[in-house]
A = this chain, B = another copy of it.
């Protein structure tokens, strides 16, 4: 199995509401306007989709509920000021700020907000590793 991944599909309660949230953050959907059942965003080299949770449960034939997620998604930026600005942007579109921007033990500066389903987004500045101009990020 190659070291790659094609899609992250987040189960959501209200597709229209979740779609609006990410569009308000400035993202553009790849799916057509009329698509009722799925919303896709092309990220650098893979796809993030929003998918109704009941469809996702049906797909894998398991009872699935949305609870506090046991994973996080991180958006790394180039400075502490950019963390602050991104969190303000999220606050302005109604995101819940779960953890205000602060210095963290590993030497960086980070904050968390959550999306309408409670999915956790970290916005972080890591002084040791920053995103490339094209948005790619690597662990070094």
Binding site for B on A (CB under 8 A): 1-11, 25-28, 30-31, 40-49, 53, 56, 59-76, 86, 89-90, 98-99, 112, 117, 119-120, 122, 124, 131, 134-140
Contacts and interface: CB of A to CB of B under 8 A. Distances in A.
A136 B69 CA distance: 26
A115 B75 CA distance: 24
B9 A46 contact: no
Contacts of A3: 26-28, 41-43
A59 B131 CA distance: 22
Contacts of A31: 139
A82 to B, nearest CB: 10
Nearest to A71: B10
Nearest to A48: B5
Contact of A47 (B10, B56, B71, B137): B137
A45 B135 contact: yes
Contacts of A56: 70-72
Closest 9 CB pairs of A and B: A7-B74, A6-B137, A6-B76, A45-B136, A44-B45, A40-B139, A4-B135, A11-B70, A30-B139
Nearest to A9: B72
